Structure 1
Amino acid sequence: MHEQPAPRPHHTTTTERGSFALARCTCGWTGPARRSRDRARTDADDHLHTAEAV
């Protein structure tokens, strides 16, 4: 029997690129570019909640 690798925890960050902010996760997920930093953080929170539900 093969051992399954442990799932990687999700850790999100927000970065700025010009006048846009975007959220990223250690799992490879990237949110859409947003003009609102608050919306980018909300995207990151939504991703974490979705990832925990799976």
Structure 2
Amino acid sequence: MTDPVRIPSQDPDRAHDTNTVERGSFCIARCVCGWSGPARRSRDRARTDATEHLTAPER
């Protein structure tokens, strides 16, 4: 079952909108820019991955 949790970007000019997706016993952070974090058993850690992605400088 997919249960997205929205984590909006703090900067409205950035084209990033992250969410977390449940895959079995794992949770994965994803972004509309194509980025996805590693599968985590901890939802909190997946949300932290998403927050770190949003606050990371553009490359």
Q: Establish whether TM, by shorter chain, passes 0.5.
A: yes
Alignment length (residue pairs): 46
Match of 1:30 in 2: 36
- 1:3-14 to 2 correspondences below 5 Å: 9-14=15-20
On the 8 A contact 1:8/1:27 being kept in 2, the answer is: no
Root-mean-square deviation over aligned CA pairs? 1.4
* Structure 2: gaps of 5 or more residues: 1-12
Q: Which one has the bigger helix percentage?
A: 1
Report the alpha carbon displacement of residue 8 of structure 1 after superposing the two structures with TM: 5.9
User: Residue 37 of structure 2 aligns to which amino acid in structure 1?
Assistant: G
Match of 1:44 in 2: 50
Return the TM-score normalized by structure 1.
Answer: 0.79
Q: Which has the higher strand share?
A: 2
The alignment-based identity, stated in percent, is: 67
Bigger radius of gyration: 1
Displaced runs of 4 or more, over 4 A: none
Letter in 1 for 2:15: P
